[in-house]
Amino acid sequence: MDTWLKRTQTNPIYQLPVTNYQLPITNKLKLLMKPENKCKLFNMKKLWVNIVPYKKEIAIAALESGADAVVLPDGKSDTVRQFGKIKTVENAGDIKPGIDVEFIDIKDKADENKAAAVPENKIVVLRMLDWTIIPIENLLAQRSKNIMVQVQNSEQAKLMVEILEKGVDGVVLNTTDVNEIKKTAEVITGISEKMSLVEATIINIKQLGMGDRSCLDTCTQMELGEGILVGNTASGFFLVHSESIDNPYVASRPFRVNAGAVHAYTLTPAGKTKYLADLKTGDEVMLVDFHGKSQTAYLGRNKIEKRPMMLIEAQAEGMPISLVLQNAETIRLVSPDGKAISITSLKPGDKVLGHIEKAGRHFGMQVDETLIER
């Protein structure tokens, strides 16, 4: 963010329209963090695969690699849908050129201006004829969303989704190499928000009675030191460890997080919160490891059952964090060095990982308001 601010001050081609960068630094930050201007930290990057001319093996590779859409010759949507469900880009497809998306060749400033003039509710796919990065940077400064770039390989894809920190919203991969499709998919899915984790000090553990707890079974296997952020309030979360550890009584379930009482919040990849009780099969959940690296997983099921409960309270950076969890030795939080700590062995003074949110929530969305949750 600071680097980008400096560039906008020294080079007018990076400036947003109707923006006066002679404002004090605090006002500049406020301007950039307006909904229409701020960097989209929670934006999920998209991968489209170009299959013009049509090749069956490329279509299948795109499906198997988890591409969001395929660009096809007109009339080929039904053919591809025989292999699996995927969005198609063609005149009879789900995304229609000229209506939902504009493909623009960029070779000079006039082409850049043409792309900038496209309404922001329409996707722009930039085809860089000489692969110059400056026009992309300029457009990122002018458009807040719906910019994609055609790339030839995974290296170009990585550059585009990370450019100016914000990155473009996605790439259209133009290749006939099946392995390149898989590598690019790994790059795109690997671009995730880095969560800021803090050290929280346990101050109280209290045994409660029976309650409804939510056990989240995801479609992804988690590693040691990895779990889900959950909290009693929308301002403070614990990193609740996955059940990826064997014990004498039950085999490990690395796809599972026994997340807590049904009223608790969890952060989702869209930057919102959801009540544990509201999560259902197919919903996106955010997995986080002890380094703060996150990834998107999909919920296989949410098992809600009555169990004995326990209240955990902590302090982090002067903020309270609390969570009601099932009272069982297999429920664990995460220490600052990534080790799993059973909640039944916790005591005041112990250190665990948490996450602090500074703003309130309204229907799961972050808002600036005065909010007290106890």
**Between 275 and 18, where is the model more confident?**
275
Q: Which residues contact 256 (CB under 8 A, 6 or more apart)?
A: 215, 216, 217, 218, 242, 243
Instruction: Please tell me whether residues 105 and 137 are part of one structural domain.
Output: yes
Binned at pLDDT 50, 70 and 90, residue 136 comes out as confident
**Between 33 and 364, where is the model more confident?**
364
Instruction: Please tell me whether residues 168 and 203 are part of one structural domain.
Output: no
Look at residue 82 and tell me if it is in a domain.
Answer: yes
Mean pLDDT of 176-202: 87
Look at residue 36 and tell me if it is in a domain.
Answer: no
Find the domain containing 12 and state its range.
2-29
Mean pLDDT of 169-178: 94
Position 100 scores a pLDDT of: 96
Instruction: Please tell me whether residues 285 and 313 are part of one structural domain.
Output: yes
Position 187 scores a pLDDT of: 85
Look at residue 324 and tell me if it is in a domain.
Answer: yes
Lowest mean pLDDT among 86-95, 108-117, 217-226, 235-244: 108-117
Residue where one domain finishes, among candidates 190, 208, 240: 190
Over 90: is that where the pLDDT of 150 sits? yes
Look at residue 364 and tell me if it is in a domain.
Answer: no
CA atoms of 244 and 221, how far apart (whole Å): 8
Instruction: Please tell me whether residues 161 and 207 are part of one structural domain.
Output: no
Instruction: Please tell me whether residues 220 and 312 are part of one structural domain.
Output: yes
Q: How many domains does the chain have?
A: 3
Instruction: Please tell me whether residues 222 and 271 are part of one structural domain.
Output: yes
Instruction: Please tell me whether residues 343 and 323 are part of one structural domain.
Output: yes
Residue where one domain finishes, among candidates 190, 224, 245: 190
Look at residue 374 and tell me if it is in a domain.
Answer: no
Instruction: Please tell me whether residues 259 and 293 are part of one structural domain.
Output: yes
- pTM of the predicted protein model: 0.62
Position 56 scores a pLDDT of: 95
Instruction: Please tell me whether residues 216 and 272 are part of one structural domain.
Output: yes
Mean pLDDT of 241-254: 87
- 186: domain CATH number? 3.20.20.70
Instruction: Please tell me whether residues 159 and 283 are part of one structural domain.
Output: no
- 294: domain CATH number? 2.170.16
CA atoms of 359 and 371, how far apart (whole Å): 8
Look at residue 335 and tell me if it is in a domain.
Answer: yes
Binned at pLDDT 50, 70 and 90, residue 192 comes out as low
Residue where one domain finishes, among candidates 132, 157, 190: 190
Over 70: is that where the pLDDT of 358 sits? no
Instruction: Please tell me whether residues 333 and 258 are part of one structural domain.
Output: yes
The angle at the Cα of 292, spanning 356 to 364, to the nearest 5 degrees, equals: 45
Over 60: is that where the pLDDT of 367 sits? no
Instruction: Please tell me whether residues 178 and 225 are part of one structural domain.
Output: no
